[in-house]
Structure 1
Amino acid sequence: MRAAIYRGPGDIAVEDVSKPEIESPTDAVVRVTHTAVCGSDLWFYRGESDREEGSPVGHEPMGIVEEVGEDVRSVDPGDRVFAPFKISCGRCEFCRKGLHTSCVNGDSWGGDNGGAQGEFVRTTEADGTLVRVPDRYADDEATLEAVLPLTDVMGTGHHAAVSAGVGEGDTCVVVGDGAVGLCGVLAARRLGAERIVAMGHHEDRLELAESFGATETVAARGEEAVERARELTYGGPRHVLECVGASSSMDAAIDLCRPGGTVGYVGVPHGVDEAGLDVFSMFQENVTLRGGVAPVRAYAEELLADVLQGTLDPSPVFTKTVDLDGVPEGYRAMDEREAIKVLVKVDH
């Protein structure tokens, strides 16, 4: 089969590799039809995080089940499925508590199971990981493109909103205008927020945020952005969604949060250790920090139900579409901010 392979910073190659096969009774092999390039992929692409050269990449698969192990009960060959960015068993202590990202039997997509930016993947825990799309939608392209963000960015944005405690009638601020931040806007609206302020640096993305439900936007930078967000929320919101992960965005989220409020953070941390976290100001203002890596499998069914009934559509975050050979171009486009998120359609 063919798959995208990391060859070093700035270098993604599409190569012939071994097709994954059933190795355990709990395995399933999925023929990938749709996948994506994620903003978190850019960290290793830019050389800002470690990754083994020669490893397959991608963690947002959707496709058709090709083969299942003898113990698999939830899906059959021929089923349309999607999978979160983290493989999970669904039966351990942490999965039962909705914390699938801490699964004791968990796995990633980047090892010998194929990588999700390729023609096939193997999930080591099919029953706990794969989410079946009803047959009536299995070939509905518009619906499938709306479902695909549930593999990562929509579930992650939702986790930010849930962690921040967003509810009916609330005011919140979303820090970040990438795909996760934009999905955070959708999630806050879905949870009933009355006012949603989106903060970012790109006018086109902030316009998309408005179409997703943001009532105001802030395009300023630094302290000016924090002050503007405070003005719009009459001294700061009680609910802040941090959807970037940089030290500057984390500082901004904490700074503008109203005393007694909560910051829901889901951005993959980079540079926070070096810059330090202002714990003392959080202590003084009783600001709560909640979140972490999003257990998107825990949210999959409820978000899927909304997509299928037409009340949730995160597909506009895909602003560029490529085929498998175009994956290297997809990375370049996202790295240079020419695309918010890249959709990959895999032909067989």
Structure 2
Amino acid sequence: MTISKSMKAVVFHDKYDIRTEIKDVPKIQNENDAILKVSYSGVCGTDLHSYRGHIKGPTGTIIGHEFLGEIVEIGSNVTKFKVGDSVLSNFTIQCGECWYCKHGYSGQCVITNTFGKIGLDGGQAEYVRVPYAENTLIKKPENKGSESEVDDSIYLLMADIFVTGYYGVKKIIDFLSINPTATIKAQDFSKSTILQIGAGPVGLCATRVLKHFGFKNIVVVDSVPSRLNEAIKFGATKVINFETESNELSRYIEQETNGIGFDAVLEAVGASSAQRTAFDSVRRNGLISSLGMGHTDLPFTSLDCYLKNVNISFGRCHAASLFHESLEIFEHVKNDFKDFIDYKTSIDNSKEAFDLFDKHKVNKVIFDLTK
């Protein structure tokens, strides 16, 4: 395959300033690298943190950590893949050899970085370099036959948002299964009460995973009507618009949980207000499973946590460690996501795509580089 010398790529410059530019195609730098020709690349909610200026952005860096494509070149140490393989990528790189990788915590690998962050160009581009390819890439499953209602772009959800949603739910399942104060039997989640704060792409994936595992009391809170409608489709038993139904969550807790609160809260926003709502809504000895990327001080104190005996789990998803088990679930439910990707566009339209996504006018943005 002939590889171009130049390519189009989306580059971060400043708050609300991203540009599609011409860049050099990346080259093999280390013996464990691979170069991918990108087929599809996505815009993720975490991209908006730097886009909106909430955190310092990677000025001059090609952004994007959701992508899949075809291998066009490999380093001398890469034996697990060959040129021509269609592959999915984790949103982080990891060595596969350190203590964290070997114990299931790949998100804390000693060399880890996220694509599109400082020091590692991302995949909103026609080509991308993938370090530690054997521990970062996964061969794309077959997606053929009459049973599949979706094209390969659906696997972009596995780059980050589906496995992250699974991670948040898995923490809840692990907690409810082993916690001696839980009022439900292990692996029987039909009577447990779950509050989910946030119905963006990660949140909606989490809702579908909750349904997959048999949760039947799922309350989803958001302020975007279209997202709340999607949450019902994916398994929510009740949705609350916090802007138009400001007292409904308190009423639900009082009347439907006898004032006790939720067994677990899945917080998928990261904003201080969402964290405070999670803390106020979870029952004593319950769990807050937080997936949102927070960027402010916590809105509660250590004494608050002590007095409530609250259990809190924060952090980035250990995507590589959880990829295969979450992919197995995804293969069962992927057809439910056939309308999930509602905005496919050219990489030339990056400014418009980010603007639409930022304003909640579209649910999931994908750059289609197959044309």
- TM-score, structure 2 as length reference: 0.87
1:285-296 alignment runs, 5 A limit: 285-296=308-319
Structure 2 residue aligned with 1:172, among 174, 189, 194? Answer: 194
Checking the alignment, whether the CA contact within 8 Å between 2:72 and 2:83 is kept in structure 1 is yes
Whether 1:264 aligns to 2:289 is yes
1:66-105 alignment runs, 5 A limit: 66-105=72-111
Shift of 1:175: 0.6
CA deviation map 1:59-80 (0-9, x unaligned):
1111111111121122221111
d(CA) in 1 for partners of 2:333, 2:57:
38
Shift of 1:220: 2.6
1:249 maps to what in 2? 274
Shift of 1:17: 0.7
Shift of 1:137: 4.7
d(CA) in 1 for partners of 2:338, 2:224:
19
1:157 maps to what in 2? 165
CA deviation map 1:71-121 (0-9, x unaligned):
112222111111121111222211111111111122332256542100111
d(CA) in 2 for partners of 1:270, 1:228:
30
Checking the alignment, whether the CA contact within 8 Å between 2:14 and 2:59 is kept in structure 1 is yes
Shift of 1:316: 3.9
- Highest CA radius of gyration, 1 or 2? 2
d(CA) in 2 for partners of 1:149, 1:174:
19
Structure 1 residue aligned with 2:225, among 189, 203, 221? Answer: 203
Structure 2 residue aligned with 1:21, among 8, 16, 27? Answer: 27
Q: Against the structure 1 CA distance between its residues 196 and 257, is the aligned structure 2 distance closer, same or farther, given a 3 Å change threshold?
A: same
Query: What letter matches 1:131 in structure 2?
Result: I
d(CA) in 1 for partners of 2:256, 2:83:
52
Query: What letter matches 2:193 in structure 1?
Result: T
Q: Against the structure 1 CA distance between its residues 308 and 162, is the aligned structure 2 distance closer, same or farther, given a 3 Å change threshold?
A: closer
1:347 maps to what in 2? 370
Q: Unaligned 5+ residue runs, structure 1? A: none
2:263 maps to what in 1? 238
Checking the alignment, whether the CA contact within 8 Å between 2:269 and 2:293 is kept in structure 1 is yes
Structure 2 residue aligned with 1:185, among 207, 211, 226? Answer: 207
1:31-50 alignment runs, 5 A limit: 31-50=37-56
SS of the aligned residue for 1:240 comes to strand
SS of the aligned residue for 2:353 comes to helix
SS of the aligned residue for 1:65 comes to strand
SS of the aligned residue for 1:25 comes to coil
Percentage identity across paired residues of the two chains: 29
Shift of 1:311: 6.0
Checking the alignment, whether the CA contact within 8 Å between 2:113 and 2:120 is kept in structure 1 is no
Shift of 1:312: 6.4
Whether 1:116 aligns to 2:123 is yes
Equivalent pairs counted in the alignment come to 345
d(CA) in 2 for partners of 1:163, 1:297:
16
Whether 1:279 aligns to 2:302 is yes
Shift of 1:201: 0.8
Shift of 1:129: 0.6
